Structure formats: C-alpha cells, structure tokens
Amino acid sequence: MKICFLIRELTHGGAERQLVALAKGLHARGHEVVVVVYYYYSGEPLEKELLEAGVRIRSLGKRGRWDLLSFLFRLGRVMQEERPEILHSYLTDLVTVIIKPWFPSTKIVWGIRSSNVDLSLCDRLTRVSCKLTFRLSCFADAVIANSRAGRDYHIAQGYTGAKVVVIPNGIDTQRFRPDLEARRHVRSEWGIQDSQQVIGIVGWLRPMKDHSTFLQAASLLAQERTHLRFVCVGEGPSDYRDSLHRLARSLKLTEHVIWSGGRSDMPAVFNALDLLVSSSITEGFSNVIAEAMACGVPCVATDVGDSAWLMGNMGEVVPPHDPVALAEAMGKLLDRRPHTPIQIRRRIVEQFSVEKLVADTEEALLALRQGTGLDSSHVVRVDR
C-alpha cells in the first residue's frame, strides 16, 4: 500500500509527533510512505527522524498564507508523480477537496484531532475554514478521529458517521518513561529543592488551554502550601503570554511560578513534575496527559474531550472553568497517591502504544483500499 501523508510542517506539536510515529510504523510494516509538507525546514528533529527511518519527505515549498495557486500546482505535480493509493491529511483537510477530482482513484482520509471547538476563540480565517470543513466533509472517503469526543462532535456538525473511525493516539513508551536522573537534572535547572513539589501545565499558551484557571487554582493552593512550585511549559503569542504574566503578578504568584517556554526534552520535563494539570476547555485526545502518565506522573484534568476516558481511574477529573474544584483535586492527589507510578504507566503501555496505533490504522486503511469501508465495528475500544 502506498500512502502519502499531508501536513503543514514538522514541528514539535502533538499531531506532528503522531504523524512521524505512524509513518515510521507503517514503513516498518512494508508499506511505501511519503510525507508531504507545506513548509520544509531542513535539520528539524522530526524530519531527521523520518529520514533516518527511511521515510521520504517531499516539500511543497509554500511561501506564505497567500501562496495558493502555485502551491496547488506543486501539490498536484507531487500527486501525479507519487500516485498514492491513500492520501491522509493531518490538519490540512480542505486542500484535499480541491485536488480530489483530478485523482479519483486515490482514497482521501481526513484526520480529526479536536472536539467541541469554541470558534469564538479563533480568528476569522480559522472560523471560516472550520465551517467549510464541516460542509465539505462528505468528499472524504474516510475520517480517522483520535478521540471519541471528536468523533461525536464532528458527526453532530455534519460528518457522515459511517465514515468515521476512532483510533486513539499512540505514545512512545520507550521515550516517555520514568527517569530519575532526568528528574534531578530538570529540577536542578529550575532551582527546585528536594522538599518542594512541582505542579506543571504543558501546552501552547492559548485561550483554549485556560491557563487562567490553572493560575487561579495555583493561587488558592499557594496560600496554604508554601512548598509548592508551578511550572508553565509552552510558547504562545506575546500579548497573551503577557496577559498571563500580569495575572500571575496580581495573584501574588511571581515567586511560585516558573515560565519555562517551549522545550524539546519533554520526557525529562514530565519526570520533573510531581503532578500534571490539564485545565483545557476543549481537547480531543490529550498527548500531554498520556505522555505524563507514561512517565508515571499522576494527572488532574478537566472533563473535556477524552481526558477522563484516557485516564480511567488513574487521575482526578474536574469541570472546566472551576479553579476551586481544580485546586481541591490537585491537593487531593498531592496528599494521597492511590496509584503507583508503575500502575499509572501500565495503562498507557497496554492501551495506547504506538504499536497499537500503527496496527489499527493499517487495518482501517487496508479496509478502505479494498472497498469494504468503515462502520461502527471499526471504532477502537479501550478498557476502562
């Protein structure tokens, strides 16, 4: 089977890491895999990882948002040269609608990586793009959602249910694993003393991650527990980042919060934490939660997307936008650890491995190529 993956760029985002893991896994199973990227930055770690695994990368050389006609021409030329049986888009679904008429034998697969999107928090172009995607989803031959919540939301927005299969993300449990030396190194870098506990939030500094609620909950805890430190790991627009810094100052958290910025050593970062928090108001499948759990770190998460399902009974779940409930859940897990790191990690190893992701995706794509289609029996189920 020949598969082309289509994505904007190969940066350190969760979707990008999933694509790389999937492409490598399918290639190792004997399929011909090509990754087509809008923008190519030679030397990026994920690009290097693909090339070292023997996966080809083709760049479309997109020169900016408004480079449209020449970009579509280059994409059409690549499709003409590669002639894939499957074109699987990652966060680039609309483009496939435009080129589909010229390549009728290629099966088009879309990817759903979000759920319950609050369009009011998005810019105008994103809002228009989302609404067009909902309307044109009928042109996809199949849709792979990484969460049950994402599947349900998109079907409610007009997607054809019979075309949607749920395949959860896969976590590289060899990379994300307990590591005491990495824990000591990062905590030393942050100036954390042995007597202090570290609570972290990891993700882009964007409104949908709701760092504001996290900071308010941190303020409530810091009033009672002086030994706590809070770490925010991730990048974001400067104006939004500055607003969060101002909020932290107004909450008298300046001495308690570390703004770490973006990092590439995420296994070490997770190991440095005593507790991970996800305060998001929307999620699909949270890589951050799964990766932290693979490192044996307990988690508190808002009840959005598949976060509760992902954690099972291994963490605490709270309503979104509720700093009091979040602070109480954080304090509860710090005081009492009902599950050991080994037990927390085992859930990810057994249910959300890369191997399972690759095998389930291969099965779905082969069924699509053979014309048997997808139905509800293809929805992947995970033990509670």
**84-126 pLDDT per residue, tens:** 999 999 888 889 999 999 999 999 999 988 777 666 666 777 7
Query: Which residues is 112 bridged to in the sheet?
Result: 145
Residue 143 has pLDDT above 50, yes or no: yes
- Residues near 123 by Cβ (< 8 Å), separated by ≥ 6? none
For 273-315, what is each residue's pLDDT tens digit?
Answer: 999 999 999 888 999 999 999 999 999 999 999 999 999 999 9
Ranges in the chain annotated CATH 3.40.50.2000? 2-170+353-378, 180-350
Residue 258 has pLDDT above 90, yes or no: yes
pLDDT at 384: 45
For the residues 226-243, what does the mean pLDDT come to? 94
Residue 223, classified by CB atoms within 10 Å of its CB into exposed (0-12), middle (13-18) or buried (19+), is exposed
- C-alpha torsion 272→274→279→283, nearest 10: 70
180-350 topology per CATH: Rossmann fold (3.40.50)
- C-alpha torsion 296→300→302→307, nearest 10: 20
Strand arrangement of the beta sheet that strand 56-59 belongs to: 56-59, 32-37, 2-7, 86-89, 107-112, 142-145, 164-166
How large is the C-alpha radius of gyration of the chain?
Answer: 21
H-run or E-run covering 310: helix 307-311
- Give the number of other Cβ atoms within 10 Å of residue 81's Cβ: 9
Q: What is the CATH number of domain 2-170+353-378?
A: 3.40.50.2000
pLDDT more than 70, % of the chain:
95
For 62-82, what is each residue's pLDDT tens digit?
Answer: 888 778 889 999 999 999 999
Q: Is 93 helix (H, G, I), strand (E, B) or coil?
A: helix
